[in-house]
Amino acid sequence: MSDVQQYDKLYIDGSWVQPDGTGTIDVINASTEEVMGSIPEGSAADVDRAVAAAVKAFPAWSATSPNDRAKYVQAISEGIAARNEEIAATICGEVGMPMFLSQLIQAGLPQAISGSFPSIVDDFVWEETVGNSLVVMEPLGVVGAITPWNYPLHQIILKVAPALAAGNTVVLKPSEVAPLNAFILAEIIDEIGLPDGVFNLVSGTGQVVGEAISAHPQIDMVSFTGSTNAGKRVAAVGAATVKRVALELGGKSANILLPSLEGDELVKAAKAAVGSAYLNSGQTCSALTRLLVPADKHDEIVEVLREEVESTYTIGDPATGAGRLGPLISATQRDRVRGYIQKGIDEGATLVTGGPEQPEDLPTGYYVKPTVFAGVRNDMTIAQEEIFGPVLSVIPYQSVDEAVEIANDSPYGLSGGVWGADADEAKAVARRIRTGGVEVNGGGYNPLAPFGGYKQSGNGREAGKYGLEEFLQAKAMHL
């Protein structure tokens, strides 16, 4: 990988083409604060060209068999695997995730997700007889995919892989903050010989390219991942043409430690809670950032958290593996998170460890100290708003019913966690939490399970057969 990755063309209709304008966007390394690459600043005219190519390619691509389409998606998986280290290093620079985690997560998950589709397609019920009707599942048409910066290639693949496998054509707008990985993906797609126009890449800002995709009358569906406010705008703009809109938005997820936990089990759950909040330096929409604990065990748990954070969750240069946590994505995000930390102090929460200051030994880079607040009330700003940084709020409760009430007292409903000495008890509480997913006693991420939210965390589901269904529509043929 060269020191500076410069891309000056967009990928439209199977070719690298000159953009409509001459503007470029610099990509900043989160650790060094230096320019690590640049991309074209696309325009609405570029979106028009990409959509025209996708519309032209749709009839032939949608007529291709699902198994043949899945073979192309499998080839994408193999291409990602072949460039694992390059992709990981690129995203390590763009986002700041330590290299060893970047290889496993930022490059590894997209490879696994795309590689899962041959078997998903093979098992999927593409048509069935219902009474005197044949019900067939058909692709929607042209899909606009607008993706975020925190898990950039993973979020791209969660949309592009099922959209292609379902028979749709795609116009992708990656985040302008972490876009270089999307250009590597376009190179992979070009190399595998995907038919012209089936996949198109238009980089640029949300205000221009994202807006044009959301509004375009020939785009049949927009799949968006990002902030809730931006998602509301995508939905509003998309409503004008009554296109399907899938939204995967923010979260403020609660992690409940039940009163039945004692001794080593309690310590294990408390330590795991830190990792559930801090993955990717807290830049994770499903992060479990509210830790709900029995009031009579609050102080004991807080001490476990303090020791775990201060001994294990070191921060440092992600490229060299100097820390467990890297920097945040940008100066804007760093300042935003520090503002929330100060807000927590101002509103009376107890600062256990961390704080809003720049780490003394890391004067350069968008670093934020891993922070824990104790004695948090659920009406505090730090308990209600998505911070998107390494900030954990500990909230005491008096009863399990109150814990469930606190967990559900949020405009969001993306994820959650429950830890209990008895698995059945934990599952019973998990059923009462109004979120799209719940980790029970530390259950791990499953790339074949549905991912998505309730309430203002969005609508629709990604991953596995559920993700494939999002990009299909049902037709009834009455016989």
CA 89/CA 97 separation, integer angstroms: 9
SS3 content of the chain, % helix, strand, coil (to 5): 45, 20, 35
Rounded Cα–Cα distance for residues 52 and 13 (Å): 9
Are the beta carbons of 74 and 114 closer than 8 angstroms? yes
Closest Cα partner for 177 from 51, 43, 332, 388?
Answer: 332
Residue positions counted in the chain: 479
Is 128 a catalytic site residue? no
Is 248 catalytic? The answer is yes
Rounded distance, CA 338 to CA 356, Å? Answer: 5
Report how far residue 475's alpha carbon sits from residue 134's, in angstroms, rounded to the nearest whole number.
Answer: 8
What does DSSP assign to residue 258? Answer: P
Pairwise CA distance, residues 181 & 174, whole Å? 9
Nearest CA to 324 among 103, 104, 97? 97
Name the token pair of 78: 């193999």
CA distance 270 to 258: 11
Pairing of strands 24-28, 35-40: antiparallel
* Rounded Cα gap, residues 64 and 59, in angstroms: 9
Instruction: Using alpha carbons, list the distances in angstroms from residue 404 to 178, 289, 314, 401, 425.
Output: 37, 15, 32, 5, 13
Catalytic residue among 176, 248, 386, 470: 248
Catalytic residue among 92, 94, 285, 470: 285
Please list the active-site residues: 248, 285
